[in-house]
Chains A and B, each alone.
Chain A
Amino acid sequence: MRTERVVLHFPKHLADKPVIVNLVRKFDLDFNILKATITPDEEGVMVLEITGEEENFQKGIQYLKELEIKIQPLSQDVIWNETRCTHCLYCVSYCPTKALQRDEETYLVKFDPQKCIACGICVDICPYKAMEIRLVV
């Protein structure tokens, strides 16, 4: 089994077509939509968690690529700016997936982008603007 969180950029002509449903129908993959939006120039951006057998996973990703959907790992779009971070740890308990955690010895922030779902709570509340999500380019 493999689980990945990815950001999908849909080209304009796919914005009104059913695509993700085919991951279930054709490749037996589970999905969880974490975020979805259509930009003013009608391109789609979706943050998706995909789970399934490795072979199906690869086929599913191939299917999306053939549709000219750009795929990248979510972790690339979530940025923790360590020079802005003061390690106050204020963000830690607000983070719903424990992507932001406290190191119990040093009391420093530990950020695990793999656990992040890009909900954006930390972006809103961090007083020092140490968190950044670059989803919609």
Chain B
Amino acid sequence: MAKTIEEINEKIRQGKAVVVTAEEMIDIVREKGVEKAAKEVDVVTTGTFGMMCSSGIYFNIGHTKPRIKLGGGKVYLNNVPAYAGYAAVDIFLGATALPEDDPRNRYYPGKFPYGGAHVIEELVAGKDILLTATAYGTDCYPRKFLSAYININDLNEAVLFNVRNAYQNYNVAVNLSNRTIYTYLGMLKPNLGNANYCSAGQLSPLLNDPFYKTIGIGTRIFLGGGIGYIIWQGTQHDPSAIRGENGVPKRGAGTIAVIGDLKQMSPSWLKGASIIGYGVSLAVGIGVPIPILDEEIASYTSVKDEDIYAPIVDYSSSYPNREPEVIGEVSYKELRSGEIEILGKKVPTNPLSSYAKAREIANILKEWIKEGKFLLTKPSAPIPGPESGVRFKPFSGKELKEEVGSR
């Protein structure tokens, strides 16, 4: 007794759809069983809020008088370099971009107080952003300099475009060395001083649809407080990662590329982040609705933290040297308890992804759907699953000389 997306949308329009969060679905399936849950529940909402470095925005500033061709020139936004390799007045800004005069890690560990992600947050918040640009000048675009304050309300298109977000699962980072290290998974104290992880676990979008049966290209989502869409698999998408018997990947695995109107978004759900010793990143809030089309999908959406395992990886050696060693596997239930045991030692755990915000996003999306403001979409095309044979390959370019970097 399968349902269709059209049937679910009709129920949403009539205000009769049964919508629950992925957390609530766990209890429903436990109490009523999968069969009954699949019949009763129409939509399960998921959520995640964490730092997602492969994020960025593009926008169009309109044509100046006289005209300027920024393409091939240089553009800075609040002193942060932006990408101008498009036509005349389209600009792309990546979340991790840094001002040229930021000392980076020359004073170790660097503080990275301001970068692309902070510009994005301020632009979304409606603050004026200083644009400075130089161009080479042409007969049709004679102007060579531009220095002006821009505001999101005056831009033509302003679009959030993230090439890799919402990793299905992720590493738990530890440090086996005898010095403190600074990573994108936070400060890791020496000799297994702590273990840091970054996933909303049982609330996380792709962990509730492990084989991407409902989530695909064209899926409408909550993005940064507004409405966005999944437009492709994310970069590094790795559906062939090893999975447990429940189908849930035990490694990073799937990712999504997302897009949405920046003008609808809010700084509450797009936050600039400074990671000591590492760099700048953008925390992004994403929520994906999962239509409960049949019992199989109902079963997937009842996944619990105790059924989801993440690999423990040493970020002092294995990770930087791209060695395959995994110290062990640990469930999100254990991670969320605040302490795990690794190699016989009790180790405190630190999350980097906000479970409270993930929960809030799942609830906001639930309300949007219940109010009939948000209809579900049928993907135009799937993103590759394990059957596709798609794998995330390591670098295989032909290097000209051996250069092993180390701090």
Partner-B contacts on A (CB < 8 A): 84, 86-90, 92-94, 102, 106-108, 124-125, 127-129
Binds A, one of B94-102, B212-220, B234-242, B273-281: B273-281
Find out whether the CB atom of B349 lies under 8 angstroms from the CB atom of A93: yes
Task: Encode contact with A along B263-303: 1 for CB under 8 Å, 0 otherwise.
Answer: 00000000111111000010100000000000000000000
In angstroms, Cα B48 to Cα A86, docked, is: 12
Closest Cβ neighbor of B358 among chain A residues: A107
Find out whether the CB atom of A87 lies under 8 angstroms from the CB atom of B356: yes
In angstroms, Cα B271 to Cα A89, docked, is: 16
Q: Given A88-B354, A102-B338, A127-B283, do A107 and B187 touch, yes or no (CB 8 Å)?
A: no
What are 17 A-B residue pairs whose CB atoms fall within 8 Å in the complex?
A84-B271, A86-B271, A86-B357, A88-B50, A89-B351, A90-B196, A92-B350, A93-B194, A93-B338, A93-B348, A107-B356, A107-B359, A124-B187, A127-B51, A127-B352, A128-B271, A129-B113
In angstroms, Cα B332 to Cα A129, docked, is: 26
Chain B interface mostly helix, strand, loop or mixed?
strand
Task: Encode contact with A along B245-277: 1 for CB under 8 Å, 0 otherwise.
Answer: 000000000000000000000000001111110
Q: Does B56 contact A (CB under 8 A)?
A: no
In angstroms, Cα B350 to Cα A88, docked, is: 9
In angstroms, Cα B348 to Cα A128, docked, is: 22
Q: Given A102-B338, A127-B283, do A90 and B271 touch, yes or no (CB 8 Å)?
A: no
Q: Given A102-B338, A106-B356, A107-B356, do A89 and B350 touch, yes or no (CB 8 Å)?
A: yes
Chain B contributes a number of interface residues (CB within 8 A of A) equal to 29
Closest Cβ neighbor of A103 among chain B residues: B356
CB proximity of A87 to chain B, nearest CB, Å: 4
In angstroms, Cα B192 to Cα A91, docked, is: 17
Q: Does B49 contact A (CB under 8 A)?
A: yes
In angstroms, Cα B350 to Cα A102, docked, is: 11
Q: Which residues on the A side are within 8 Å of B356 (C-beta)?
A: 87, 106-108
Q: Which residues on the B side are within 8 Å of A127 (C-beta)?
A: 51, 273-275, 281, 283, 352
Q: Does B76 contact A (CB under 8 A)?
A: no
CB proximity of B182 to chain A, nearest CB, Å: 9
Q: Which residues on the A side are within 8 Å of B111 (C-beta)?
A: 124
Q: Name 4 extra pairs, CB < 8 A, besides A88-B354, A127-B275.
A: A87-B354, A93-B350, A94-B187, A127-B283
A-B residue pair count with CB separations less than 8 angstroms: 62
Among B49, B338, B351, contact of A90 (Cβ-Cβ < 8 Å): B351
CB proximity of B128 to chain A, nearest CB, Å: 20
Find out whether the CB atom of B352 lies under 8 angstroms from the CB atom of A88: yes
Q: Which residues on the A side are within 8 Å of B353 (C-beta)?
A: 88
In angstroms, Cα B49 to Cα A90, docked, is: 13
CB proximity of A88 to chain B, nearest CB, Å: 4
Q: Does B210 contact A (CB under 8 A)?
A: no
Q: Which residues on the A side are within 8 Å of B349 (C-beta)?
A: 93
Q: Which residues on the A side are within 8 Å of B351 (C-beta)?
A: 88-90
CB proximity of B249 to chain A, nearest CB, Å: 23
Find out whether the CB atom of A125 lies under 8 angstroms from the CB atom of B276: yes
In angstroms, Cα B186 to Cα A108, docked, is: 19
Q: Does B92 contact A (CB under 8 A)?
A: no
Q: Does B309 contact A (CB under 8 A)?
A: no
Q: Which residues on the A side are within 8 Å of B352 (C-beta)?
A: 88, 90, 127
